[in-house]
Structure 1
Amino acid sequence: MSTRETAPRPLRKDAERNRRRVLEAAREVFAEHGLAASLDDIARHAGVGVGTVYRRFPDKEQLIDALFEERVGEMVELARASQAVEDPWAGLEQFLTAAQELQATDRGLKEVLLGDVHERARVTAARDRIAPLVQQLLDRAQEAGAVRRDVSFTDLPLSQFAIGGLADYTRDIAPDAWRRMLVLVLDGLRATGTDATPMPAAPVDQEDLERVMQAAGHADRRRRG
């Protein structure tokens, strides 16, 4: 069979326009309401019939995969840009602050980054690209003596869980409250000239972190029925 016969047929201009409209609407709806939003919600926001959404994306998981592969890719580029910062502490701080800002304004992105995405192959592959970059940021800051030696990589996503949850609950009451908590977390990561308070427990290992993410994903699915 020739390449011409097997190549996917390009979408008509109106079909491509509707696809982009659906993706933009999904980005806005998921950012506001999280992944609990339905395809009906997205169709209504896009101003198209729900059948149009289903023709482009037969189920919501495919829509999430298509949309958030790009969004998680933005996080990868953010981590790379932070690695280019000369000062190791400033690079880590830049990444953690910018990542938290993105998650505070986009509930869907937060759920994708910190939830169970094992059924979304493209998103999972994109997310797996972030971890080694962030580990390198942390290693560099610790080697420079800027971050406590007893801080583990898994402490970083767990702190994002905590701050992200606060951002969700205070969004309509005190939308910048999470920024105060982020400052406290960043100060807690810093190595100081005095003895730090010993950690009261061992760090969560990678396997347990995955279990936490799966539990968060299950909770999200129960919430959205």
Structure 2
Amino acid sequence: MSEDGGTADGTSGRRLRRDAEENRVRIVRAAREMFAAHGLGVGFNDIARHAGVGVGTVYRRFPDKATLVRDALQDEVVRLLEVADEALASEPAWDGLMLLVEHVADLLAANLGLRDVALGPGLLEGEFGDVAEQVAGFVEGLLERAKAEGSARPDATPQDLTMMFLMITELALHATASDPRAYRRYLAVFTDGLRATSSEAPLPGPLGEAAAEDVARRWTSRG
């Protein structure tokens, strides 16, 4: 017998390692699906049930939730940042802003876990901890450039877009069964209101940065 309890040729040990890796893949897949459908409020018990494993198996493979979130959403976060980079390179700035808004809305509507990472400040530590800050920076930069070129209304704020994303993704969640693309109509209504041609009707007072972060934190931490 070998030290790991397998046979001398290591057959049992290899089988155990293979089973452990298969469980890990199953857990990550289940977490990806659950986070996408319900956001980051999903717990280990729900993920274990969806994966068909015991909750103890989830804890053995993933010591904390942040680790599982990173493994489950890594590809989606990379895609989100790629879209942002593409939008920043677009000219005029309004086209870049609309590219960012439309593509990010599609990504976030399809994955509420990604929505929580991108819009919910302070939800995660480590490599995902600054994703919300990066997304906000991309939006702010493009919006300011669009204002400077005269295509965006001068009283629009980055917080307006954060609230828009939160509302659009919430609509997408509730409209999935009846019309999965319904949110696109209301996204167009929102973004049309950002145009400089809409600025003759002044907006009520803006939501400040701290207030917007508080709203986003409460919204994305439900459940």
Same fold (TM over 0.5): yes
Q: Which residue among 148, 151, 156 is the counterpart of 2:156?
A: 151
8 Å contact 1:116–1:215 — kept in the other structure?
A: no
- The aligned amino acid for 2:37 is E
Kindly report the root-mean-square deviation, in angstroms, between the aligned alpha carbons of the 2 structures. Answer: 2.4
- SS of 1:196's equivalent in the other structure is coil
Q: Which residue among 192, 208, 215 is the counterpart of 2:218?
A: 215
The separation in 2 between residues aligned to 1:125 and 1:168, in whole angstroms, is 25
Gaps of 5+ in 2: 1-16
> Which residue does 2:209 correspond to in 1?
206
Cα offset, 1:79, TM superposition: 0.8
Gaps of 5+ in 1: 1-11
- SS of 1:36's equivalent in the other structure is coil
Deviation track 1:100-129 (CA, whole Å, cap 9, x = no partner) reads 111111122222323353453432223222
> Which residue does 1:35 correspond to in 2?
40
8 Å contact 1:148–1:190 — kept in the other structure?
A: yes
The separation in 1 between residues aligned to 2:199 and 2:190, in whole angstroms, is 17
2:119 matches 1:111: no
8 Å contact 1:73–1:126 — kept in the other structure?
A: no
2:77 matches 1:90: no
The separation in 1 between residues aligned to 2:191 and 2:57, in whole angstroms, is 45
Label 1:214 to 1:37 Cα distance change in 2 as closer, same or farther (>3 A). Answer: closer
TM-score, length basis structure 2: 0.81
The separation in 2 between residues aligned to 1:36 and 1:46, in whole angstroms, is 17
- The aligned amino acid for 2:184 is R
Cα offset, 1:65, TM superposition: 4.3
Aligned length: 208
8 Å contact 2:39–2:220 — kept in the other structure?
A: no
- SS of 2:39's equivalent in the other structure is helix
Cα offset, 1:212, TM superposition: 1.3
> More deviation in 158-167 or 96-105?
158-167
Superposed, 1:184-195 pairs within 5 Å as 184-192=189-197
Cα offset, 1:217, TM superposition: 4.1
Deviation track 1:14-71 (CA, whole Å, cap 9, x = no partner) reads 5444333322221111112222333233223334333221111123344224434553
Q: Which residue among 196, 200, 207 is the counterpart of 1:196?
A: 200
- The aligned amino acid for 1:137 is L
2:49 matches 1:44: yes
Label 1:122 to 1:69 Cα distance change in 2 as closer, same or farther (>3 A). Answer: farther
The separation in 1 between residues aligned to 2:181 and 2:131, in whole angstroms, is 29
TM-score, length basis structure 1: 0.81
**Larger Rg computed on CA atoms:** 2
Flag the structure with more relative contact order, 1 or 2, with Cα contacts below 8 A and sequence separation at least 6.
1
Q: Which residue among 23, 27, 35 is the counterpart of 1:22?
A: 27
The separation in 2 between residues aligned to 1:19 and 1:48, in whole angstroms, is 10
- The aligned amino acid for 2:63 is P
Percent pairwise identity: 40
8 Å contact 1:32–1:107 — kept in the other structure?
A: yes
Q: Which residue among 180, 185, 188 is the counterpart of 1:183?
A: 188
